[in-house]
Amino acid sequence: MSDGMSVAATATHVEHVGHEKLGFVRTYIFSTDHKMIARQFLFFGLFMMILGGLMALMIRWELAWPETQVPGTRWIPEPFMTDGYMNPSFYNQLFTMHATIMVFFVVMPILVGCFGNFLIPLMIGARDMAFPVLNMLSFWVGAVSGVVMLAGFFVPGGHAAGGWTSYAPLTAVTQYTGVNWGQNLWCISLIILGISSLMGSINYITTIVNMRAPGMTFFRMPLVIWSLFIVAILLLLALPVLTSALAMLLLDRMAGTSFFLPAGGGEPLLWQHLFWFFGHPEVYILILPAMGIGSDILAVFARKPIFGYRAMAFSMIGIAFLSWIVWGHHMFQSGMNPALGTGFMISTMVIAVPSAIKTFNWLGTLWGGSIRFTTPMLNALAFVSMFVIGGLSGIYMASTPVDIFIHDTYYIVAHIHYVVFGGSVFGIFAAIYYWFPKMFGRMMNETLGKIHFWPTFIAFNCTFFPMHILGIGGHMRRIYNPMQYEFLRPLQPVNVFITVSAIALGLAQIPFVINFFWSLFAGKKAERNPWKANTLEWAAPSPPPHGNFEAIPVVYRGPYEYSSPEVTEDYLPQDRQLARRHAVAAH
């Protein structure tokens, strides 16, 4: 039945392939083409990544050499900096905004906004998204949200300074932080962003359910599409919870309600329950697409079918279900009933199992392969190995007694960066190197790619691994001067080492920027299928025109038929029709 529907749905889209010539505005700015919207999300996310990264470096400078002049910042006025010396409240604004930007305006726009948009229609064999105008609105509403978020730096009192988790009552009353409109704009921006994500997720779900090409059953979808499908469902269900919490916080701040204020009968822990009920699925929203991307790239460059395709899909579905019942592990020390802590510990231990399954299947995919060490592959391998560290370090926090000690220390900071940088950001780099030829019609430079990868991989580990040591030493998060504490002074050389590595990590991104822009204009022209991959996007021209395919492809098999004995080449595209007896044998 769904095949019939998808044919009908695509038929309505065929007509707008006809009127090609759109003006500049409709082509590049208010475009309804999913590929242009994807590029917009990519540029938006990369721009924000630079801002978020610079903030991280300022934070690191302060931690290594507390209360000294931060180089190159004398232009930043009061009340943020005084002649290059950072004020404590600005430090709080910096780590709040670093995390807010990286989570909501870098990883989500790039992994979900850019690659969701680019890959879903191309990989399921559709001409565009189900709702192209909604898709355009999703980007522009997201852009408005970004502008509102950045505007927070320009209002009196400065930006939100309560951490990206924004725990009430610190954030619910202006006097507690001295921040007024900064915090309000933070709430408003994320409410707007919620609308943008909602529009995107409805579009993704509708498109995947209804517009798959003939023969593209659910279990012939590439794992990256599975991951984006699951993420869209998580977004649809999780964001309304955040939006409600933000609305309540805004009402507490502006309308005199007391949802989170005990003086008026409110409950501070309510914020934490609502925030983490959204926040834990959110963590998987950040990592699942990278898991899908990693799986696809591993199979392509190992020239092997993915090991345990169904186990991979089901483990992602398992993560999606379990992600709703683990939020309490952020709250073990919050004063929540300790008996609840026990329940959340068990569910948290259980959610580690699907991640373990995925890791072993990635290893299984490498086993017996014919591995090509291209730049996308190196980044995908980095994703797998760094995600392993991030996953394993999570077990420490899952154990409630160990969490008593490491909660709110740098151990948590190390963990989240291994998952979100080591996992999601290496996933982003892998995806950019891999799909750049399809997206822009030109190849990225492999040598520059490797000059980017190796320093990044090494500097990343030098930056974030020692944070485990800080955590074990008891170093608290979100403090502006560790030298104020006697027990932290012996750890200061570790802080200095981390900061030097972080600066190196920042510098290591320069080859990427050069490679990206140079390849955009002067890279080698990409052929249709430069990586000799099986999935449908490589059946379209590079870059695909409006409408994507000359003719809607018909799908005959799963996405990972590499080194199949049926053909002499080591790949067998999903849409290639073999002689009839072969086609039967393939199933």
Partner 1 sequence: MMSWLPENVSTYGNDIDRLFYLIYYITGATFFLVAVTMVAFLILYRHREGRPARYTHGNTTLEIIWTIVPAVILVVLSFMSQATWGHIKGHMPPADVHVQVTAKQFNWEVTYPGPDGKLGTKDDLEMENEVHVPVNKVILVHLKSKDVIHSFFLPNFRLKQDAVPGREIQAWFQATKPGRYELPCAELCGFGHSGMRGWVYVHPADEYDKWVKEHWPSA
Q: Is 443 helix (H, G, I), strand (E, B) or coil?
A: coil
State which residue, 26 or 532, has the beta carbon closest to partner 1. 532
Rounded to an integer, what distance in angstroms lies between the CA atom of residue 309 and that of residue 559?
Answer: 10
Number of residues that bind partner 1 (CB under 8 A): 98
Rounded to an integer, what distance in angstroms lies between the CA atom of residue 299 and that of residue 309?
Answer: 11
263 touches partner 1 (CB under 8 A): yes
Nearest to 418 by CA among 452, 439, 394: 394
Among 43, 219, 454, 487, binds partner 1 (CB under 8 A): 487
State which residue, 2 or 481, has the beta carbon closest to partner 1. 481
491 touches partner 1 (CB under 8 A): yes
92 touches partner 1 (CB under 8 A): yes
Pair of tokens at residue 283: 């963590």
Q: Print the binding letters for residues 356-395 with partner 1: x by CB under 8 A, - otherwise.
A: xx-xxx-xx-xxxxxxxx-------x--xx--xx--xx-x
Among 480, 531, 538, 556, binds partner 1 (CB under 8 A): 480
Q: Are 168 and 249 in contact (CB under 8 A)?
A: yes
**Helix H or strand E segment including 552:** none
State which residue, 325 or 366, has the beta carbon closest to partner 1. 366
Q: Are 463 and 501 in contact (CB under 8 A)?
A: yes
Nearest approach, Cβ of residue 37 and partner 1 (Å):
35
Residues 175-234 that bind partner 1 (CB under 8 A): 176-178
Nearest approach, Cβ of residue 310 and partner 1 (Å):
8
Nearest approach, Cβ of residue 207 and partner 1 (Å):
27
Contacts for 480-485: CB closer than 8 Å, 24+ residues apart: 480/62, 480/63, 480/66, 480/86, 480/88, 480/91, 480/92, 481/62, 481/66, 481/67, 482/63, 482/66, 483/66
156 touches partner 1 (CB under 8 A): no
262 touches partner 1 (CB under 8 A): yes
Residues 396-455 that bind partner 1 (CB under 8 A): 396, 398-402, 404-405, 407-409
DSSP state of 539: G
State which residue, 480 or 516, has the beta carbon closest to partner 1. 480
84 touches partner 1 (CB under 8 A): no
Residue 169: cis peptide before it, omega within 30 degrees of 0: yes
40 touches partner 1 (CB under 8 A): no
493 touches partner 1 (CB under 8 A): no
Stretch that binds partner 1, among 1-9, 124-132, 171-179, 535-543 (CB under 8 A): 171-179
Nearest approach, Cβ of residue 86 and partner 1 (Å):
11
Among 484, 510, 513, 528, binds partner 1 (CB under 8 A): 484
Nearest approach, Cβ of residue 347 and partner 1 (Å):
10
Q: How open is the CA angle 545-546-549, to the nearest 5 degrees?
A: 65
**Helix H or strand E segment including 82:** strand 81-82
557 touches partner 1 (CB under 8 A): no
State which residue, 6 or 374, has the beta carbon closest to partner 1. 374
Among 84, 215, 441, 473, binds partner 1 (CB under 8 A): 473
Among 445, 461, 535, 564, binds partner 1 (CB under 8 A): 564
Pair of tokens at residue 10: 């695509």
State which residue, 12 or 68, has the beta carbon closest to partner 1. 68
Alpha-carbon separation of residue 123 from 1, 36, 245, 277, 297 (angstroms): 20, 16, 36, 32, 14
Amino acid at 373: F
State which residue, 478 or 528, has the beta carbon closest to partner 1. 478
520 touches partner 1 (CB under 8 A): no
Residue 79: cis peptide before it, omega within 30 degrees of 0: yes
Among 334, 448, 543, 578, binds partner 1 (CB under 8 A): 334
478 touches partner 1 (CB under 8 A): yes
Nearest approach, Cβ of residue 273 and partner 1 (Å):
13
DSSP H helices, 524-586, are 580-585
Q: Give me the sign of the Cα torsion angle 521, 527, 533, 537.
A: positive
Nearest approach, Cβ of residue 562 and partner 1 (Å):
6
State which residue, 10 or 171, has the beta carbon closest to partner 1. 171
- 3-state SS, one letter per residue, for 444-513: CCHHHHHHHHHHHHHHHHHHHHHHHHHHHCCCECCCCCHHHCHHHHHHHHHHHHHHHHHHHHHHCCHHHH
State which residue, 200 or 305, has the beta carbon closest to partner 1. 305
Residue 401: cis peptide before it, omega within 30 degrees of 0: no
DSSP state of 80: T
Torsion region of 343: left, alpha or beta (phi above 0 gives left; psi -120 to 50 gives alpha):
alpha
341 touches partner 1 (CB under 8 A): yes
Nearest approach, Cβ of residue 166 and partner 1 (Å):
10
Rounded to an integer, what distance in angstroms lies between the CA atom of residue 325 and that of residue 396?
Answer: 18
Rounded to an integer, what distance in angstroms lies between the CA atom of residue 406 and that of residue 412?
Answer: 7
Rounded to an integer, what distance in angstroms lies between the CA atom of residue 308 and that of residue 355?
Answer: 14
Q: Is 405 helix (H, G, I), strand (E, B) or coil?
A: helix
Residues 523-542 that bind partner 1 (CB under 8 A): none
Among 269, 448, 503, 583, binds partner 1 (CB under 8 A): 269
State which residue, 112 or 179, has the beta carbon closest to partner 1. 179
Residues 94-113 that bind partner 1 (CB under 8 A): none
323 touches partner 1 (CB under 8 A): no
342 touches partner 1 (CB under 8 A): yes
27 touches partner 1 (CB under 8 A): no
Q: Within 13 Å of residue 262, how many CA atoms lie on the same side as its CB?
A: 4
Nearest approach, Cβ of residue 31 and partner 1 (Å):
40
State which residue, 17 or 352, has the beta carbon closest to partner 1. 352
Q: Are 453 and 375 in contact (CB under 8 A)?
A: yes
Among 134, 195, 237, 350, binds partner 1 (CB under 8 A): 350
Rounded to an integer, what distance in angstroms lies between the CA atom of residue 382 and that of residue 378?
Answer: 6
